């Protein structure tokens, strides 16, 4: 057992914990059912506020005495808004209900809370093992995850510090202050923890470097900039369990000897800003942050800085510039921030997930952490898996799990019986991997070797109807806009890459373009200062390497195999199948491109059509008359009769 | 390039809001590192950064207006046009892109006859593109005002615009009724 594991008496903390436990007991023992509702951004976006209102109204109307407990995000995005109802009197275990609309909330209040019928058809599972309802841990989406960072997310109220403390939160502090900073650093070094901000730099050695700087003022920055347009785990952690991050920040500050810390979070994440600000306030009130923390004579102030939204500001030196009030442009390293960071002071910058891993490590010991994951990448990885999977959401897995397990077992595979085509990992800095790579274990080194990258943890799964050229174009469009303009290759090179990709997706590309793409990509990688430019060509390079067929089809046949590139597709109506007199597609067309033919069937005016695909959705399945083709010449031309134009006017 | 929109005149209400900010600036102090928090404060109050505000901040921090513009235009958060009463934010995050978010954006642009980053002349609507609003499972997603609309379809666009317009008319009618009954 590691020394961290011992209980350490600290009268001040014991008092706080006592209070937290009393409150928790009171909540548990209060009569009546308890309703837990997920209220992070994702839940609210899916209507959790309305769901909560519905519960409250219905409970009041029926005079039921129940407690509503708002919690954070549990990571099961496909199930939002989710509700867990703990209704012991009914004889059922706590039950997890997915997609609880206000209507469902009303129904559950009436039928389950009042009458004791849990409505089996709406249940996802029970959150405890029992005889009546399948336990959620029997599902791969639950059982194959390993929650370290997100263990408490979705179970505690992020806006109530006592909730966290009752769940054993802040319990590492008392013990930590009895150990020397060197011992803490050694523990983190032994754990093998690597930074979760993308590059995987070992955290312990980083802290050690900062600790060894003989300077009075040192700083800690928590990097919650999260610029990847498809990743949202850092925000979710801040929104669902801010105190675990603060606990990590306190440990880091103590280890390196800093008395000031900054949480850099995007202003575009208003809920995260509010919750972390409130959390700092609460921690201060209890003496867990501020002067003389828990009587240890260690002081630490934590501030929130609202980032203004620029992808490059996630890069540490750019982030520092932006806190200093300037344009967020990266600078050359060395000196590294651990030597000369914010205001020229030694600064440790760590990602949210890195810092949130600290408390579990200190609590359970380095050896415990090492047992999770792989030799070179211990611990867990968090991915936001989106796109064409059955169960999208935030997923925390031990490092070393294969992509196949993650996509097919945990996330339920590809919906609608379609075939897997590619998985994009690491957002704008990452790459697209084909089926052959599905057995790649997920860890820092294997992914980099395959040409992708852990990066931000964004993961987009794509089925056969996806165009990898278009995805590359999408990411290039993003990096080109976000390039800060400092390095010529990044500024102008990404612009040219984008122009070429646009040309290809419009069917104007040629053989030579493919060569230029490759050459230019290498040049941009070599000619850029920071990680943005160095990694921006990754999406292009990997898709060129693994999906050359896609490029060839665009260039040689002017055809988009995934039928995503709109200039290369056309919609037409199969006159054999179209039903006379049906008008479903006419009303839905946003540009009035659908017309009635002389025999009262429908045709599409290709010159007006914007290829939104709406008519295809609108066409009743029993006719199924709308066809999508690529290249567009495959669509038969149907003349628009003169008089129908008048008729429409 | 961001549209700096410098020729729009400030409304009386905006002028007085801006004046209220002056004492707050004194409180914040003249430290250069306060530039971004100051700009955020102004945008929070006025919903955008009018030219007058930029000059005010430049004077306050004793730096040139072009330097303030330099910083403000660098970041995506700052806008130089007043947003509409119903800001439309079309998500073009990765998941929404794959599900055709750009088609939704185009539909809003066509329906409202403005481009992304602009505001309708009656200041009723403005269109913005945003990256991942955090509910990718509902892709494609659009946020109108405070409400998130998931599983968007091009044909839902017209309904959303219409609904916002009707709400507005209803509000105005009620306002008139209240005023006349007073
Ligand atoms: C273009 C670019 C964007 C980055 N964005 C982020 C980000 O959003 N969040 C983050 O934690 N790190 C980001 N990083 C990595 C940081 O520079 C830095 O390595 C990291 O915050 C260190 O924390 P860690 O050691 O905990 O990983 C980015 C790097 C680059 C080059
Ligand atoms: S990409 Fe649109 S909500 Fe995530």
Question: Do the domain assignments include residue B6?
Answer: no
Same domain, A636 and A625: yes
Question: Do the domain assignments include residue A564?
Answer: no
Is the pLDDT assigned to residue A4 strictly greater than 70? no
Q: Which atom of ligand 1 is nearest to the CA of A318?
A: 17
> How many Å lie between the centroid of ligand 1 and the Cα of residue A198?
6
Give the whole-angstrom CA distance, residue B113 versus residue B3: 17
Question: Do the domain assignments include residue B1?
Answer: no
Same domain, B98 and B23: no
From the number of C-beta atoms within 10 Å of its C-beta (0-12, 13-18, 19+), residue B72 rates as buried
Any atom of ligand 2 within 6 Å of the Cβ of B96: yes
Instruction: For residue A57, give the CATH number of its domain.
Output: 3.40.30.10
Any atom of ligand 1 within 6 Å of the Cβ of A314: yes
- pLDDT at position A120 is 93
CB contact under 8 A, B155 and A618: yes
CB contact under 8 A, A427 and B155: no
| Residues whose CB falls within 8 Å of the CB of residue A57, separated by 6 or more in sequence, listed in order | none
Same domain, B94 and B173: yes
Same domain, A526 and A601: no
- Please say whether the beta carbons of A90 and A41 come within 8 A: no
Structural domain ending residue among the three candidates B74, B97, B128: B74
- pLDDT at position B5 is 57
Smallest CA separation from ligand 1 atom 25, residue = A195
Instruction: For residue A626, give the CATH number of its domain.
Output: 3.30.70.20
Question: Do the domain assignments include residue B97?
Answer: yes
Residues of A in contact with B138 (CB under 8 A): 45-46
Instruction: For residue B50, give the CATH number of its domain.
Output: 1.10.10
Residue A2 binned pLDDT confidence (cut-offs 50, 70, 90): very low
Q: Which two tokens stand for residue A441?
A: 């274990």
Same domain, B66 and B98: no
> How many Å lie between the centroid of ligand 2 and the Cα of residue B98?
10
| Residues whose CB falls within 8 Å of the CB of residue A110, separated by 6 or more in sequence, listed in order | A58, A62
Q: Which of A191-195, A489-493, A621-625, B2-6 shows the lowest per-residue confidence on average (mean pLDDT)? A: B2-6
Q: Ligand 1: which of A193, A195, A196, A197 to mutate, judged by most atoms within 8 Å of the beta carbon?
A: A197
Q: Which atom of ligand 1 is nearest to the CA of A532?
A: 1
Question: Do the domain assignments include residue A561?
Answer: no
Q: State which residues form the domain around A316.
A: 161-369
Residue B148 binned pLDDT confidence (cut-offs 50, 70, 90): confident
**What is the separation of C-alpha A617 from the centre of its chain, rounded to a whole number of angstroms?**
29
- Residues 611-630, chain A: which have Cβ within 8 Å of B? 611-614, 617-618
Tell me the C-alpha to C-alpha distance, in Å, between residue A513 and each of A55, A302, A508, A563. 59, 51, 10, 21
| Number of domains into which chain B is organized | 2
CB contact under 8 A, A46 and B153: no
- pLDDT at position B182 is 60
Q: Which residue has the higher pLDDT, B5 or B181?
A: B181
Nearest chain B alpha carbon to A470: B98
Mutate: best of A321, A587, A590, A618, partner B, most B CBs <10 A: A590
Question: Do the domain assignments include residue B49?
Answer: yes
Instruction: For residue A326, give the CATH number of its domain.
Output: 3.40.50.11540
Helix extents (H) in A301-351: 316-323
Give the whole-angstrom CA distance, residue A511 versus residue A211: 55
Is the pLDDT assigned to residue A273 strictly greater than 90? yes
Q: State which residues form the domain around B170.
A: 86-180
Same domain, B102 and B58: no
Smallest CA separation from ligand 1 atom 1, residue = A532
- pLDDT at position B8 is 61
| pLDDT tens readout for residues B63-83 | 999 999 999 999 988 988 888
Question: Do the domain assignments include residue A23?
Answer: no
Same domain, A180 and A227: yes
Any atom of ligand 2 within 6 Å of the Cβ of B56: no
Residue A403 binned pLDDT confidence (cut-offs 50, 70, 90): very high
CB contact under 8 A, A460 and B98: yes
Question: Do the domain assignments include residue A154?
Answer: no
ipTM of predicted assembly, 2 dp: 0.89
Give the whole-angstrom CA distance, residue A164 versus residue A151: 11
Least CB–CB distance from B71: residue in A44, A267, A327:
A327
Any atom of ligand 2 within 6 Å of the Cβ of B130: no
Structural domain ending residue among the three candidates B74, B104, B119: B74
Any atom of ligand 1 within 6 Å of the Cβ of A223: yes
Starting from the CA of residue B99, give the closest ligand.
Answer: 2
Same domain, B32 and B59: yes
Is the pLDDT assigned to residue A1 strictly greater than 60? no
Same domain, B96 and B39: no
Q: What percent of chain A has pLDDT over 90?
A: 81
Give the whole-angstrom CA distance, residue A610 versus residue A148: 47
Q: Output the pTM of the full model.
A: 0.92
Structural domain ending residue among the three candidates A556, A587, A610: A556
Same domain, A198 and A166: yes
Average pLDDT of every residue of chain B: 88
Least CB–CB distance from B95: residue in A308, A323, A460:
A460
Same domain, B60 and B95: no
| Number of domains into which chain A is organized | 5
Same domain, A479 and A548: yes
Is the pLDDT assigned to residue A219 strictly greater than 90? yes
Same domain, B103 and B149: yes
The residue-averaged pLDDT of A263-280 equals 93
Same domain, A199 and A294: yes
Is the pLDDT assigned to residue A649 strictly greater than 80? no
| Residues whose CB falls within 8 Å of the CB of residue B126, separated by 6 or more in sequence, listed in order | B81, B82, B83, B84, B86, B87, B88, B114, B118, B119, B120
Same domain, A250 and A296: yes
- Sheet holding B86-91: strands in order across? B125-130, B86-91, B142-144, B147-149
Same domain, A173 and A279: yes
Same domain, A129 and A182: no
The residue-averaged pLDDT of A559-576 equals 94
| pLDDT tens readout for residues B80-132 | 888 888 999 999 999 899 989 999 999 999 999 999 988 898 889 999 988 88
Interhelix angle B35-46/B12-28, nearest 10 degrees: 150
How close is the nearest chain B Cα to the Cα of A170, in Å?
Answer: 28
Question: Do the domain assignments include residue B147?
Answer: yes
From the number of C-beta atoms within 10 Å of its C-beta (0-12, 13-18, 19+), residue A409 rates as middle
CB contact under 8 A, A466 and B98: yes
The residue-averaged pLDDT of A593-617 equals 91
Nearest chain B alpha carbon to A590: B155
How close is the nearest chain B Cα to the Cα of A197, in Å?
Answer: 18
Residues of A in contact with B110 (CB under 8 A): 590-591
Structural domain ending residue among the three candidates A327, A346, A369: A369
Could you tell me whether strands A219-224 and A347-351 are parallel, antiparallel, or unpaired per DSSP bridges? parallel
Average pLDDT of every residue of chain A: 92
Same domain, B50 and B100: no
| pLDDT tens readout for residues A434-477 | 999 999 999 999 998 888 888 888 899 999 999 999 999 999 99
Same domain, B92 and B175: yes
Question: Do the domain assignments include residue B172?
Answer: yes
Instruction: For residue B154, give the CATH number of its domain.
Output: 3.40.30.10
Question: Do the domain assignments include residue B39?
Answer: yes
Instruction: For residue A404, give the CATH number of its domain.
Output: 3.10.20.600
Q: Which two tokens stand for residue A474?
A: 């999408």
Question: Do the domain assignments include residue A482?
Answer: yes
Q: CB pairs below 8 Å between A and B: how many?
A: 139
Least CB–CB distance from A458: residue in B35, B94, B106:
B94
Structural domain ending residue among the three candidates A556, A585, A617: A556
- The continuous run of DSSP H or E covering A301 comes out as strand A301-307
- Please say whether the beta carbons of A525 and A533 come within 8 A: yes
Mutate: best of B42, B91, B102, B137, partner A, most A CBs <10 A: B137
HSE-CB for A259 with a 13 A CA cutoff: 10
| pLDDT tens readout for residues A505-531 | 999 999 999 999 999 999 999 999 999
A219: helix, strand or coil = strand
Is the pLDDT assigned to residue A644 strictly greater than 70? no
Q: Is B127 on the interface with A (CB under 8 A)?
A: no
Residue that is written with structure tokens 């892109």 in the block:
B97
> How many Å lie between the centroid of ligand 1 and the Cα of residue A195?
9
Starting from the CA of residue A312, give the closest ligand.
Answer: 1
Instruction: For residue A485, give the CATH number of its domain.
Output: 1.20.1440.230
CB contact under 8 A, A590 and B76: no
| pLDDT tens readout for residues A93-136 | 999 999 999 999 999 999 999 999 999 999 999 999 999 999 99
Same domain, B52 and B90: no
> How many Å lie between the centroid of ligand 1 and the Cα of residue A404?
27
Question: Do the domain assignments include residue A214?
Answer: yes
Residue A640 binned pLDDT confidence (cut-offs 50, 70, 90): confident
Tell me the C-alpha to C-alpha distance, in Å, between residue A292 and each of A88, A250, A259, A298, A302. 43, 12, 11, 5, 14
Same domain, A339 and A202: yes
Starting from the CA of residue A349, give the closest ligand.
Answer: 1
> How many Å lie between the centroid of ligand 2 and the Cα of residue A32?
38
Peptide bond into B5 cis (omega under 30): no
Q: Is B63 on the interface with A (CB under 8 A)?
A: no
Question: Do the domain assignments include residue B2?
Answer: no
A273-A275-A278-A279 Cα dihedral, nearest 10 degrees: -120
Give the angle subtended at the CA of A271 by the CAs of B80 and B48, to the nearest 5°: 10
Question: Do the domain assignments include residue A149?
Answer: no
> How many Å lie between the centroid of ligand 1 and the Cα of residue A444?
14
**What is the separation of C-alpha A232 from the centre of its chain, rounded to a whole number of angstroms?**
3
Strand partners, A626: A573
Same domain, B61 and B94: no
Question: Do the domain assignments include residue A1?
Answer: no
CB contact under 8 A, B93 and A230: yes
């Amino acid at each position: 057992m590691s020394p961290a594991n011992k209980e350490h008496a600290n009268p001040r903390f014991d008092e706080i914990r006592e209070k937290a436990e009393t409150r928790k007991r009171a909540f548990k023992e209060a009569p009546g059912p308890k309703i837990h509702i997920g209220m992070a951004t994702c839940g609210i976006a899916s209507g959790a506020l309305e769901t909560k209102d519905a519960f409250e109204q219905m409970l009041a109307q029926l005079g039921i005495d129940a407690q509503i407990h708002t919690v954070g995000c549990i990571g099961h995005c496909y199930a939002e808004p989710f509700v867990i109802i703990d209704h012991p009197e009914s004889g059922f275990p706590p039950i997890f209900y997915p997609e609880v609309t206000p209507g469902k909330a009303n129904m559950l209040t009436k039928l389950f809370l009042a009458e004791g019928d849990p409505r089996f058809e709406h249940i996802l599972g029970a959150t405890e093992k029992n005889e009546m309802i399948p336990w959620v841990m029997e599902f791969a989406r639950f059982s194959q995850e390993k929650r370290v960072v997100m263990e408490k997310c979705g179970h505690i109220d992020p806006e109530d510090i006592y909730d966290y403390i009752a769940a054993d939160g802040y319990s590492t502090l008392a013990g930590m202050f009895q150990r020397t900073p060197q011992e803490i650093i050694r523990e983190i070094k032994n754990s093998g923890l690597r930074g979760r901000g993308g590059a995987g730099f070992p955290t312990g050695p980083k802290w050690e470097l900062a600790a060894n700087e003989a300077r009075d003022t040192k700083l800690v920055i928590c990097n919650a900039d999260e610029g990847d347009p498809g990743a949202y785990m850092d925000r979710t952690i801040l929104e669902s369990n801010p105190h675990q991050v603060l606990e990590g920040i306190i440990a880091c500050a103590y280890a390196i000897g800093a008395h000031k810390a900054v949480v850099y979070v995007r202003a575009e994440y208003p809920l995260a800003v509010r919750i972390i600000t409130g959390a700092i306030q609460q921690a201060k009130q209890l003496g867990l942050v501020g002067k003389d923390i828990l009587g240890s004579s260690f002081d630490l102030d934590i501030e929130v800085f609202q980032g203004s939204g620029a992808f490059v500001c996630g890069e540490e030196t750019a982030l520092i510039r932006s806190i200093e009030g300037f344009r967020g442009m990266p600078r050359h390293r060395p000196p590294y921030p651990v030597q000369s960071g914010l205001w020229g002071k030694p600064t440790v910058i760590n990602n949210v997930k890195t810092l949130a891993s600290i408390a579990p490590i200190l609590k359970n010991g380095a050896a415990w952490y090492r047992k999770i994951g792989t030799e070179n990448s211990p611990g867990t990885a968090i991915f936001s898996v989106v796109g064409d999977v059955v169960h999208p959401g935030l997923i925390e897995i031990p490092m070393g799990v294969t992509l196949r397990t993650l996509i097919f077992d945990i996330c339920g595979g590809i919906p609608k019986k379609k075939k897997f085509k590619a998985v994009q990992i690491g957002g704008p800095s990452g790459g697209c991997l084909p089926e052959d790579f599905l057995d790649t274990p997920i860890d820092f080194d294997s992914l980099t070797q395959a040409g992708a990258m852990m990066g931000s943890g964004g993961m987009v799964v794509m089925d056969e109807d996806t165009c990898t050229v278009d995805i590359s174009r999408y990411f290039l469009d993003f990096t080109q806009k976000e390039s800060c303009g400092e390095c010529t290759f990044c500024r102008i090179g990404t612009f040219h890459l984008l122009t070429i990709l646009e040309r290809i997706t419009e069917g104007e590309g040629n053989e030579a373009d493919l060569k230029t793409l490759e050459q230019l990509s290498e040049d941009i990688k070599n000619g850029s200062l920071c990680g943005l430019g160095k990694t921006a060509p990754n999406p292009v390079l990997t898709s060129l390497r693994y999906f050359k067929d896609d490029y060839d089809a665009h260039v040689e046949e002017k055809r988009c195999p995934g039928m995503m590139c709109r200039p290369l597709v056309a919609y037409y109506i199969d006159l054999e199948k179209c039903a006379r007199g049906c008008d479903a597609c006419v009303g839905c067309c946003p540009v009035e491109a659908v017309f009635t033919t002389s025999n009262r069937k429908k045709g599409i005016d290709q010159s007006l059509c914007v290829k939104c695909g709406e008519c295809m959705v609108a066409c009743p399945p029993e006719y199924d008359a709308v066809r999508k083709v690529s290249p567009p010449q495959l669509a038969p031309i149907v003349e628009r009769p003169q008089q129908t134009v008048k008729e429409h006017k | 390039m961001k549209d700096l929109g410098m020729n729009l005149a400030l409304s009386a209400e905006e002028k007085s809001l801006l004046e209220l900010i002056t004492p707050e600036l004194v409180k914040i102090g003249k430290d250069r590192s306060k530039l971004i928090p100051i700009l955020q404060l102004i945008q929070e109050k006025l919903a955008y950064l009018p030219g007058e505000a930029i000059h005010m901040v430049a004077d306050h921090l004793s730096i040139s207006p072009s330097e303030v513009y330099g910083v403000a235009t660098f970041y995506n958060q700052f806008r130089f046009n007043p947003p509409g009463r119903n800001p439309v934010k079309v998500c073009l995050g990765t998941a929404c892109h794959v599900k055709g978010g750009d088609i939704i954006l185009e539909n809003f642009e066509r329906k409202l006859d403005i481009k992304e980053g602009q505001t309708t002349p009656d200041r009723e609507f403005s269109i913005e593109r945003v990256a991942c609003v955090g509910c990718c499972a509902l892709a494609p997603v659009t946020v109108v005002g405070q409400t998130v609309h998931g599983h968007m379809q091009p044909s839902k666009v017209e309904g959303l615009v219409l609904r916002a317009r009707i709400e507005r008319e209803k509000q105005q009618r009620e306002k008139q009724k209240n005023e006349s009954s007073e």
